Every structure is written in structure tokens, then in C-alpha cells.
Structure 1
Amino acid sequence: MGKILRKAVFGLDPEQAHRAAIRSLALWGSAGAPFGGGPEAATPVTLAGLTFPNRIGLAAGLDKDAEAIAGLFALGFGAVEVGTLTPRPQPGNPRPRLFRLVEDEAVINRMGFNNGGIDAALARIARLKRRPGVLGINVGANKDSTDRVADYALGVTRAAPHADYITINVSSPNTPGLRDLQSRPALDELLAAADAARGTTPLFLKVAPDLDRAGLEGAIRAAIDHHIDALIVSNTTISRPPLAAAQAGEAGGLSGKPLQALARAKLIEAREIAGGQLPLISAGGIDSPDEAKRRIDAGAVLVQVYSALVYHGPALVRSIARALA
């Protein structure tokens, strides 16, 4: 049955399949998730004053508009991160913009922060009857913004009453110039504004795996200076390791198995630089319980997955949670 379902899903355009998955999860959640419970029971983990039911979270990007939170928690996630959300709605980049690299167990996307705007998403979050795990809200800037720092501050202000934590996303490669905000002094200005806007809500910072050591060190020092509670290492990569799929030349951020070695190496580098002063969350290429264990051994407190669900299915969530218990 799993092979038949996968064949049917892979017969759809990737973005159509993504929308179908979100609709199915939303319906499942609204029905009370009759065939699944909440987060997989495991040893709880405390980070930034929050209690995570287990160590596995959903990375931002799957549920951009906070439509399927209940259904996603029912898959077993201890944390679900929605977004990226921008102050105003925006359509994102022209299609096609999402590509499966089946031979490589990878995905390339150049979505461009397509979302219905933060206010619409927060209205859906406010209607949630139950939140069995930790909810993160990932915020970004509009593509045509004339003041991106103000966009982030507004996103943090709006999200703070609704989020267990907020992630500052300055590492997407699909909004022109956005990654420049990872460099000081731009990052200092942005994080100072976000810190002032958050109230008591924990703030996480998500960085790209393409930062060199000096860039990563600058981002970590800025995060520590501005009281960021955790660093997510990492987002998609613009680098291209050897790939077999015909879509390998598509522009955008690469995720999935080919990102595995780079994401793990950047986690180790971040651990060395941070020296225990900043908790680390690992994302990128985590596709098995063994790889998740490697990330914890390399210094991560929590892990996040997304692209691996495309190739390994939702059962991966509980298998990782159990392995890390």
C-alpha cells in the first residue's frame, strides 16, 4: 500500500502533491486525528524554558500558512514550526518552483516565501482548540519591503502572543538579498529590533549552511549578544554536491539527503564556536533514526525534518522520536 500511495503522489506535480498533503493533514486534524495521537511519548527536553515532548520537530516550509497544525502534531512531532510568514501576503516566485530529485532523495525549491500573510495565519492559530506540543512561528520579510528590519520586528510583535517560540529566518536563498542580513552589522540591527519586540517569547535564529567559518562565527556572536535562545543549523543550500537527477541544475535551495554531510559539519562547527553558550537545533538531511542520533551526538538539543518525509513517509517521525527517547 505504501508503494502504491507513493507512486500516486509522485505522479502529481510536486506543488500539487504538497497542497494535497496539507489539505489531508488539515482534514485529519479537524476530525480529531482518529488514526493517530499527539506527539510521540518520549523523554521530555527543556529548551528556552519550553518543554518539548520529544526531540523531533517539523522544520518550517511544509505548513507555510498554519493550516494543518493539529494533523502534524498527530504524526508524532514534539514541535511544529509554521511559516515562513511575512507581514503582507505574497504569491512567491513563478512556477514551477518546487522539484523532486528522486534519484538523490532531494528537493530543490525556490518558493520565495509564498504565504497568505501573518494575520491570516495567526487567526487560524488562535482558533486551535488544542496544542499538544510546542508551536514555533517562522517569520520573514516581504520581497518588496523597503525596511526589512521593520518587517521582522512586526512579525515578531504579531507572533509573540501566539507562539511558543519565534524563528528569525534570514537564511532562505529565494528572496534576493535576504541572506545579506546574516552579516554584521545588519544582523545586529535586526536582532536588536526582534529582541525588543518579542516580550518574553523565546527567539530562535535560523542560518544557512553556506556561511563560511567567519560568517558563522559572526552570526553566533550576534545571536549571543542579542539574547537569542537557540540557533537552527541549517536552512537549504545553494551549493551543489554531485547529483544524479535531471533537475539538478534548477535554481533554488537544495534540501534532503545531499545536504546531510554539510549540515552535520556546520552543526559541529557551530558547536565549536558557541562553546555551550547557545543551544543548537539541527536540520538538513536528517532521514533516519541513526542520522538523528548523530546530530544529537554532535551537539544538537533537538532535530528538525521536512524533505525526508517526501521519501520516507510520516512513520519516520515516530521512529526518530523513539530512537532519541
Structure 2
Amino acid sequence: MSDSSNPDEPTVTSSPYAAAERAKKARIAGDGASAVSREGEGGASSKRPSISFTPKAAALVTSFCAAVALGAAGIIAAVVYEKGPCAAQCPDGNCGTVDLDVCNGDALVAPSSIPGIVVMLGLAAVVVGGWPEAARIRNPRLARGVLSLVAAASALAASAGYESLAFVAAGSIFLCFMAEMLRKDGRENLLGSVSATFLGSILIVASGFWPLLLRNYEAGAVVLAGMCLLIGGLGRYASASDASSSPARLIARSFFYSFAGGAIYLYVTGLGFETRSFAWLAAMALAFGATSGLADGAARSRVAPTKAGAAALAVVPHCALGVIVYALSFAVS
């Protein structure tokens, strides 16, 4: 006997609610079948020779390259500052900002922010390419469109000042909601999708503060941050294991490696461990430890992370430290 003839539920089976429930059950059953299929594929692929470029390797390579690029940008900016045509007029660095090739009165030629913009665009490209997968956003194509627009606007705003970046951050909220309104899949997990897309936008905006730091004569702070990110990232992935289950342990581990990297830099360069440099180092290492620890905790919840998603999670500290270091420089200036 069919369900429609069941006297116990004569109206429920014909109602729109029942149809929606049947569709939901069918979708859940389909997801379960696909999960089993993926599991079977994973079991079959596990017998094959493993490739050398795993998601962990992708994260390690991305973190390393981003840190090296950031340190190189700071060094280039310092060289431009020392070799600038007006550098001798204001050796203490407290001068106005003018064009690189022109002196205006007693103004000092500012370090070029172009290397910082290049690094910022590189970080933004990694976030755009992998963040929708890392955050499991339901509408990855629309999310990448929003993140691409935010990246372009941030690159332009970085040449104008932090106020412009604040406007970009505010405008990204509107873009995130507009993208959700364009979805045609029923807008499932609406709040989570908006939040994840906006978080990716904030990471891109935060990376836009690196060019501002180079423009404001903080090349030394950028190089120090690059060294913290370099050694911190190497230690972060070299010691990564499933046994590191505690978030506090993840944060402490990343803090230790980052602090060690910055301490090596201060010692080798002869900058010493005076109060100001030590405070800078401690703040950067703590910020790296917190952001990388949280990102690692999120990465461990992914059953099968992709290379792009792992790379995006790897550069979370590189992006976040842009606004953190800028805030530090603004506080102590």
C-alpha cells in the first residue's frame, strides 16, 4: 500500500511541508552517498604513491615565500630611503612625504611603497584563490568576486592612507550582503557565508597596511615582522602534528618560533634588545602566535584540505600582522 493511502497521515503527505521534508531527506541521503563515495575514493587513492606537494607543503611554501617577500620589500624600501635624493636633508626620518623623484623644500623622499603593494597583491591573490575553500563558503564564485573587488580597492586605497582602507572595509560589508542576495541556491547558511566572506575581506584590507608602513618610514619594523613570520612559519609547520590538540599549545608553539626568529634578527643585526625593540618583538610574536594558532585550529577541522585552502590559512598571520604592526607604530610614534 502506498504512503498516500495511509489513513494515519492523510494530509501530511500531500502538504508543501511534506514535499520540502522529502526533498531535504533526499538531499541528505545524496550527501551521505557522496561522502561514502569520497571515502571510497580516498581509500583507493591511499594505495597510490603519495605526491610530494601536499596541502601541508603548499602551506609551508606559501608562508615561506610570503615572509621572504615581505622582508625583501622592507629592505628595498630602506635602500630607497637611504639613497633618496633628499635623504641627507632629514636624517632623523621625521619629514613629509613627497614624490620619489622630486624634493619639495626640506621634505624627505619617502621610501617607495611599491614593493609593499606588490606583496599586498600577492597575499590578496592567495586569499582570493583559497579562502572560499578554507572557509567552506557555499557560494565560492560570488565570494571570489567580492574578494577580488576588495583587493583592487585596497591596493588603490593603500596609496592614499589608512582612512581610505577603513572605507574599503566598510564597503566590503555591503558587497558581502549583495553577493548573498545574488545566490540562487536558497541561501543556505546565509549568516555563516556572509561572515566568512567578510572575514576574508578584512584579511585583504589588513594586508594593505604593509605599504602604509613602508611609506611611513617603518621599513625596519617590516623587516623584523618578515623575520618573525619566516622563522615562525617554518617552525609552525615543521612541528605540526595531530597531537597538538590544545589551542593554547598551538598559540604557544607559534609564539616561541616567531619570537626566536625576531631575536635572531635583532642579535645578528646588532640592534640589541632595548626596551622598544624588545616590546616590538614580543608584540609581533604574540600576534603571530594568536593568529596562526587560530588558523591552525581551523585547518585541523578540515577533513580533506585543498592546496589553495591550506595556502590561504597559511597567510592569515601575514595579512593580520599588517594592521597590527601599523597600530603599534602609530601608538609609539
Q: Which has the larger radius of gyration?
A: 2
More strand by share: 1
TM-score by length of 1: 0.23
TM-score by length of 2: 0.23
More helix by share: 2
